Amino acid sequence: MGRSGKKVIFLVDMNAFFISCEMSINPELKGRPAAVAGDPKSRSGIILAANYEARAYGVKTTMLVHEALSICPGLVIVPPTRGLYEKKSNEFMEILSRYAPVIQKNSIDEAWLDLTGCEKLFGEPVQIARRIMREIQYELDLWCSIGISENKFLAKMASEMKKPLGITELWKEDVPVKMWPLEIRQMYGIGKKTEERLKRIGIMTIGDLAQCDDRLLNGNFGKYGQELKRLANGIDDSPVEPEPKSVTRSISRSTTLAKDITDINEARTVLLSLAEEVGEEARRSDFRGKSVSIVIRYNDFTTITRQKTIVPSFLTKDIYRTGAELLGEHWDRKRPIRLLGIGISNVDEEMPVQLSIFDINDELPDSVKREEKLERAIDSIRSRFGSDKLKRATLVEGRKKNTGETAGVSE
């Protein structure tokens, strides 16, 4: 055990992973501002990853290529190398497996390790972290940051506190001093929309959330608010699992609309936004649903639920397309909509274990594989830089139509 018999959990997070992988096979990029771009030949393409030299000039992920070149004329732009990131990720995971019997991948470039009891073999937690960091540097020519704590949430928070090449401990007793002063947007799991909702009720820091009145949280967030408060207090009982399985075997999102909807295109835009959130969570859990359902609540509070079976999928386009079909088939256009919801489920308990990006079934069509990799890459960008950084063109155009605002970066 760690401090005073606590568990010891690591979160190992690779620094600037995509561009660092490129630098490991092309040493000429080292020491120069460089970035990976989806379409380096197109000045309208976007930056997918920038190294620290480029970041010093202000180059950021999701920035348009021509914008990046305008602030950093010497920026070297390279296309993604096919298969390189998966290969490096597998090698990174293999190094971690030398130290911990249980590893849980959080994404292509980070993982949790349960090192409880391993101190007898490898030394104190910080010593183990230094060994892991050295081996990743020496064997893969990559950098990482490591968070150390007694649970997954705090380990993840710790890993974000010092980059690059940072090793940070964040135990529960450290939370009031190290974590509570941080702005609420810096809390793992808080997206842009949740941040805005929390700020509207006066919660500006993680400490504000940790000490918030239960009635205020319940009134605005329900049970989700209590879970957020637990995390803000450093409480997380979720285990490190090699293949975490969905408890509910369903994922859904719904929203009460600011005004009743009578236009089908406006309803579809709302549905797409919700489908984005469902798809992102499904991919994070490697959960492919085999049915899509929608909830329609009319302005007289009458509610209907409809569902349709699909080929198991966690792609946003599949979730949205099926939901839009259900909406078109079952909405009584004479009745304005007050609430919309969409979800995926997999009620068949005998369904096979879901695949991850690391063992995608070769029988999947190439087009599906490309879609899955693309949407996972988008998820990674959004999780690091905010859900507003990449928007589907439909959502952007819908907002322009409704509000008159200018479109930003779209996929």
- Looking up tokens 């080929």 gives 311
Residues assigned a catalytic role: 110
Spatial CA neighbour of 126 closest among 98, 162, 160, 167: 167
Using CA atoms, how far apart are residues 106 and 348, in angstroms rounded to an integer?
25
Contacts of 87 (CB under 8 A, 6+ apart): none
The tokens describing 370, both together, are 């490309």
Q: Burial, 222: exposed, middle or buried (Cβ in 10 Å; 0-12, 13-18, 19+)?
A: exposed
How many angstroms separate the Cα of 166 from the Cα of each of 35, 97, 146? Answer: 22, 20, 6
The tokens describing 247, both together, are 């408890």
DSSP string, 194-215: HHHHHHHTT--BHHHHHT--HH
Using CA atoms, how far apart are residues 109 and 370, in angstroms rounded to an integer?
19
